[in-house]
Structure 1
Protein backbone atom coordinates (compact mmCIF):
# COMPACT_ATOMS: atom_id res chain seq x y z
CA UNK A 1 0.00 0.00 0.00
CA UNK A 2 1.15 3.52 -0.71
CA UNK A 3 -0.25 6.96 -0.19
CA UNK A 4 0.96 10.32 -1.38
CA UNK A 5 -0.14 13.68 -0.04
CA UNK A 6 -0.27 15.76 -3.22
CA UNK A 7 -1.45 18.96 -1.60
CA UNK A 8 -1.88 20.32 1.94
CA UNK A 9 -2.64 24.00 1.54
CA UNK A 10 -4.50 26.75 3.33
CA UNK A 11 -6.84 28.07 0.64
CA UNK A 12 -8.37 31.16 2.25
CA UNK A 13 -6.58 34.52 2.22
CA UNK A 14 -8.71 36.16 4.90
CA UNK A 15 -10.40 34.69 7.94
CA UNK A 16 -13.29 32.37 7.10
CA UNK A 17 -16.34 33.07 9.25
CA UNK A 18 -19.43 30.86 9.12
CA UNK A 19 -22.59 32.82 8.31
CA UNK A 20 -24.50 31.13 11.14
CA UNK A 21 -21.83 30.15 13.69
CA UNK A 22 -24.45 29.11 16.25
CA UNK A 23 -25.33 26.15 14.00
CA UNK A 24 -21.75 24.88 13.71
CA UNK A 25 -20.44 22.12 15.97
CA UNK A 26 -16.67 22.17 16.53
CA UNK A 27 -14.53 20.58 15.46
CA UNK A 28 -16.18 20.65 12.02
CA UNK A 29 -16.28 17.27 10.28
CA UNK A 30 -14.11 17.02 7.15
CA UNK A 31 -15.79 17.56 3.79
CA UNK A 32 -14.47 14.70 1.65
CA UNK A 33 -14.82 13.29 -1.85
CA UNK A 34 -13.26 10.10 -3.19
CA UNK A 35 -13.14 8.49 -6.61
CA UNK A 36 -11.08 5.99 -8.59
CA UNK A 37 -8.86 6.87 -11.51
CA UNK A 38 -5.94 5.15 -13.24
CA UNK A 39 -2.85 7.30 -13.82
CA UNK A 40 -0.32 5.31 -15.86
CA UNK A 41 -2.63 2.29 -15.69
CA UNK A 42 -2.49 1.98 -11.85
CA UNK A 43 -5.87 1.95 -10.09
CA UNK A 44 -5.73 4.78 -7.55
CA UNK A 45 -8.17 6.22 -5.06
CA UNK A 46 -8.15 10.04 -5.11
CA UNK A 47 -9.27 11.58 -1.80
CA UNK A 48 -9.94 15.30 -1.51
CA UNK A 49 -10.71 16.87 1.84
CA UNK A 50 -11.58 20.33 3.07
CA UNK A 51 -10.88 21.02 6.74
CA UNK A 52 -12.04 23.98 8.82
CA UNK A 53 -9.54 24.70 11.60
CA UNK A 54 -9.27 27.59 14.05
CA UNK A 55 -7.49 30.46 12.30
CA UNK A 56 -5.26 30.94 15.36
CA UNK A 57 -3.64 27.58 14.52
CA UNK A 58 -1.32 28.26 11.57
CA UNK A 59 0.28 24.80 11.45
CA UNK A 60 -0.72 22.56 8.55
CA UNK A 61 -2.78 19.54 9.56
CA UNK A 62 -1.03 16.23 8.94
CA UNK A 63 -2.29 13.07 7.28
CA UNK A 64 -1.81 9.71 8.97
CA UNK A 65 -1.18 6.65 6.82
CA UNK A 66 -4.63 5.37 5.74
CA UNK A 67 -5.78 1.96 6.99
CA UNK A 68 -7.92 -0.52 5.03
CA UNK A 69 -10.60 -2.22 7.11
CA UNK A 70 -12.34 -4.60 4.72
CA UNK A 71 -14.05 -2.40 2.12
CA UNK A 72 -13.48 0.80 4.12
CA UNK A 73 -10.50 3.12 4.01
CA UNK A 74 -9.98 4.94 7.30
CA UNK A 75 -8.16 8.29 7.23
CA UNK A 76 -7.09 10.66 10.01
CA UNK A 77 -6.26 14.32 9.54
CA UNK A 78 -4.38 15.47 12.67
CA UNK A 79 -4.29 18.97 14.11
CA UNK A 80 -4.17 20.74 17.48
CA UNK A 81 -7.63 22.13 18.23
CA UNK A 82 -8.06 24.79 20.88
CA UNK A 83 -10.87 23.93 23.26
CA UNK A 84 -12.51 27.30 22.67
CA UNK A 85 -14.98 27.88 19.86
CA UNK A 86 -13.06 29.77 17.17
CA UNK A 87 -14.22 33.15 15.94
CA UNK A 88 -12.86 32.34 12.48
CA UNK A 89 -11.34 29.40 10.63
CA UNK A 90 -8.73 28.65 8.06
CA UNK A 91 -9.82 26.36 5.26
CA UNK A 92 -7.32 23.64 4.37
CA UNK A 93 -7.43 21.63 1.15
CA UNK A 94 -5.80 18.21 1.28
CA UNK A 95 -5.46 15.89 -1.70
CA UNK A 96 -4.21 12.31 -1.35
CA UNK A 97 -3.63 9.47 -3.81
CA UNK A 98 -3.93 5.98 -2.32
CA UNK A 99 -2.98 2.67 -3.95
CA UNK A 100 -2.79 -0.92 -2.75
CA UNK A 101 -3.27 -4.42 -4.13
CA UNK A 102 -6.86 -4.33 -2.85
CA UNK A 103 -7.75 -0.69 -3.53
CA UNK A 104 -10.45 -1.77 -6.01
CA UNK A 105 -12.35 -3.47 -3.17
CA UNK A 106 -12.86 -0.20 -1.31
CA UNK A 107 -16.35 1.29 -1.41
CA UNK A 108 -16.24 3.91 1.35
CA UNK A 109 -13.88 6.30 3.07
CA UNK A 110 -14.27 7.18 6.73
CA UNK A 111 -12.28 10.30 7.54
CA UNK A 112 -11.63 11.93 10.88
CA UNK A 113 -10.40 15.32 11.92
CA UNK A 114 -8.40 14.27 14.98
CA UNK A 115 -7.44 16.64 17.75
CA UNK A 116 -4.03 15.71 19.13
CA UNK A 117 -4.52 17.26 22.59
CA UNK A 118 -6.71 15.89 24.03
CA UNK A 119 -7.09 13.09 21.54
CA UNK A 120 -10.63 13.32 20.17
CA UNK A 121 -12.02 13.14 16.67
CA UNK A 122 -14.96 14.12 14.51
CA UNK A 123 -15.62 11.99 11.45
CA UNK A 124 -17.64 11.48 8.32
CA UNK A 125 -18.32 8.56 5.99
CA UNK A 126 -18.61 8.85 2.21
CA UNK A 127 -19.23 6.35 -0.59
CA UNK A 128 -16.46 6.09 -3.18
CA UNK A 129 -17.55 7.19 -6.64
CA UNK A 130 -16.84 4.49 -9.24
Structure 2
Protein backbone atom coordinates (compact mmCIF):
# COMPACT_ATOMS: atom_id res chain seq x y z
CA UNK A 1 0.00 0.00 0.00
CA UNK A 2 1.13 3.53 -0.73
CA UNK A 3 -0.17 6.96 0.08
CA UNK A 4 0.82 10.43 -1.01
CA UNK A 5 -0.22 13.67 0.66
CA UNK A 6 -0.76 15.94 -2.34
CA UNK A 7 -1.85 18.99 -0.40
CA UNK A 8 -1.98 20.07 3.26
CA UNK A 9 -2.86 23.75 3.17
CA UNK A 10 -4.56 26.32 5.37
CA UNK A 11 -7.26 27.81 3.14
CA UNK A 12 -8.62 30.69 5.20
CA UNK A 13 -6.90 34.09 5.17
CA UNK A 14 -8.66 35.51 8.22
CA UNK A 15 -10.13 34.06 11.38
CA UNK A 16 -12.89 31.52 10.71
CA UNK A 17 -15.61 31.89 13.32
CA UNK A 18 -18.75 29.73 13.39
CA UNK A 19 -21.88 31.93 13.39
CA UNK A 20 -23.52 29.85 16.12
CA UNK A 21 -20.60 28.34 18.09
CA UNK A 22 -22.84 26.89 20.81
CA UNK A 23 -24.33 24.51 18.22
CA UNK A 24 -20.89 23.14 17.23
CA UNK A 25 -19.27 20.16 18.96
CA UNK A 26 -15.50 20.48 19.25
CA UNK A 27 -13.39 19.12 17.84
CA UNK A 28 -15.34 19.29 14.57
CA UNK A 29 -15.39 15.98 12.67
CA UNK A 30 -13.52 16.02 9.35
CA UNK A 31 -15.57 16.76 6.24
CA UNK A 32 -14.42 14.12 3.77
CA UNK A 33 -15.07 12.99 0.21
CA UNK A 34 -13.61 9.85 -1.35
CA UNK A 35 -13.60 8.74 -4.98
CA UNK A 36 -11.83 6.11 -7.08
CA UNK A 37 -9.97 7.19 -10.20
CA UNK A 38 -7.25 5.84 -12.45
CA UNK A 39 -4.58 8.32 -13.52
CA UNK A 40 -3.26 8.01 -17.10
CA UNK A 41 -0.87 5.04 -17.17
CA UNK A 42 -1.46 4.44 -13.47
CA UNK A 43 -3.34 2.09 -11.19
CA UNK A 44 -6.69 2.38 -9.43
CA UNK A 45 -6.33 5.09 -6.78
CA UNK A 46 -8.55 6.37 -4.00
CA UNK A 47 -8.62 10.18 -3.83
CA UNK A 48 -9.44 11.43 -0.33
CA UNK A 49 -10.21 15.11 0.23
CA UNK A 50 -10.71 16.43 3.75
CA UNK A 51 -11.58 19.78 5.26
CA UNK A 52 -10.44 20.15 8.86
CA UNK A 53 -11.36 22.85 11.39
CA UNK A 54 -8.52 23.31 13.88
CA UNK A 55 -8.02 25.89 16.63
CA UNK A 56 -6.33 28.91 15.04
CA UNK A 57 -3.94 29.12 18.00
CA UNK A 58 -2.20 26.00 16.61
CA UNK A 59 -0.20 27.17 13.57
CA UNK A 60 1.03 23.69 12.59
CA UNK A 61 -0.24 21.69 9.65
CA UNK A 62 -2.18 18.59 10.72
CA UNK A 63 -0.14 15.42 10.30
CA UNK A 64 -1.57 12.70 8.05
CA UNK A 65 -0.95 9.20 9.41
CA UNK A 66 -0.51 6.28 7.02
CA UNK A 67 -4.00 4.97 6.17
CA UNK A 68 -4.85 1.40 7.21
CA UNK A 69 -7.30 -1.04 5.68
CA UNK A 70 -9.70 -2.92 7.91
CA UNK A 71 -11.92 -5.15 5.78
CA UNK A 72 -13.85 -2.86 3.41
CA UNK A 73 -12.93 0.26 5.38
CA UNK A 74 -9.95 2.53 5.07
CA UNK A 75 -9.04 4.38 8.27
CA UNK A 76 -7.16 7.66 8.10
CA UNK A 77 -6.08 9.87 11.00
CA UNK A 78 -5.31 13.58 10.89
CA UNK A 79 -3.23 14.45 13.98
CA UNK A 80 -3.21 17.85 15.65
CA UNK A 81 -2.76 19.45 19.08
CA UNK A 82 -6.26 20.19 20.36
CA UNK A 83 -6.90 22.81 23.02
CA UNK A 84 -9.09 21.61 25.89
CA UNK A 85 -11.03 24.87 25.63
CA UNK A 86 -13.50 25.73 22.89
CA UNK A 87 -11.60 27.80 20.33
CA UNK A 88 -12.55 31.40 19.62
CA UNK A 89 -11.70 30.85 15.96
CA UNK A 90 -10.53 28.06 13.69
CA UNK A 91 -8.22 27.65 10.77
CA UNK A 92 -9.62 25.66 7.88
CA UNK A 93 -7.24 23.09 6.38
CA UNK A 94 -7.63 21.33 3.03
CA UNK A 95 -5.89 17.95 2.89
CA UNK A 96 -5.76 15.82 -0.26
CA UNK A 97 -4.41 12.26 -0.22
CA UNK A 98 -4.02 9.59 -2.91
CA UNK A 99 -4.04 6.00 -1.66
CA UNK A 100 -3.48 2.74 -3.51
CA UNK A 101 -2.99 -0.92 -2.60
CA UNK A 102 -3.45 -4.41 -4.04
CA UNK A 103 -6.88 -4.62 -2.37
CA UNK A 104 -8.08 -1.06 -2.96
CA UNK A 105 -11.08 -2.14 -5.04
CA UNK A 106 -12.54 -3.72 -1.87
CA UNK A 107 -12.78 -0.36 -0.09
CA UNK A 108 -16.37 0.87 0.27
CA UNK A 109 -15.93 3.49 3.00
CA UNK A 110 -13.37 5.80 4.53
CA UNK A 111 -13.38 6.27 8.30
CA UNK A 112 -11.53 9.48 9.10
CA UNK A 113 -10.53 10.91 12.45
CA UNK A 114 -9.28 14.25 13.62
CA UNK A 115 -7.03 12.87 16.35
CA UNK A 116 -5.57 14.73 19.29
CA UNK A 117 -2.61 13.59 21.32
CA UNK A 118 -5.33 12.75 23.88
CA UNK A 119 -7.70 10.36 22.04
CA UNK A 120 -10.57 11.36 24.33
CA UNK A 121 -10.92 14.53 22.27
CA UNK A 122 -10.79 12.88 18.87
CA UNK A 123 -13.70 12.99 16.42
CA UNK A 124 -14.45 10.78 13.46
CA UNK A 125 -16.75 10.40 10.50
CA UNK A 126 -17.63 7.68 7.97
CA UNK A 127 -17.73 8.52 4.25
CA UNK A 128 -18.90 6.24 1.43
CA UNK A 129 -16.59 5.88 -1.58
CA UNK A 130 -17.85 7.05 -4.99
CA UNK A 131 -16.90 5.06 -8.08
Compute the TM-score of the two structures, normalised by the length of structure 2. 0.97
What secondary structure sits across from 1:104 in the alignment? helix
Does residue 83 of structure 2 align to residue 74 of structure 1? no
The count of residues paired between Structure 1 and Structure 2 equals 129
2-side partners of 1:80 and 1:54: how far apart? 9
Match of 2:45 in 1: 44
| 1:72-98 alpha-carbon deviations (Å, 9 max, x no partner) | 000000000010100100000000000
Shift of 1:41: 3.4
Shift of 1:119: 2.8
What secondary structure sits across from 2:84 in the alignment? coil
2-side partners of 1:119 and 1:17: how far apart? 25
Compute the TM-score of the two structures, normalised by the length of structure 1. 0.97
Match of 1:57 in 2: 58
2-side partners of 1:101 and 1:65: how far apart? 16
Shift of 1:3: 0.2
Does residue 121 of structure 2 align to residue 127 of structure 1? no
What secondary structure sits across from 2:14 in the alignment? coil
Match of 2:19 in 1: 19
2-side partners of 1:29 and 1:129: how far apart? 20
What secondary structure sits across from 1:83 in the alignment? coil
Superposed CA RMSD in Å reads 0.7
| 1:31-79 alpha-carbon deviations (Å, 9 max, x no partner) | 0000000012310000000000000000000000000001000000000
Runs of 4+ in 1 over 6 A off after TM superposition: none
2-side partners of 1:123 and 1:105: how far apart? 21
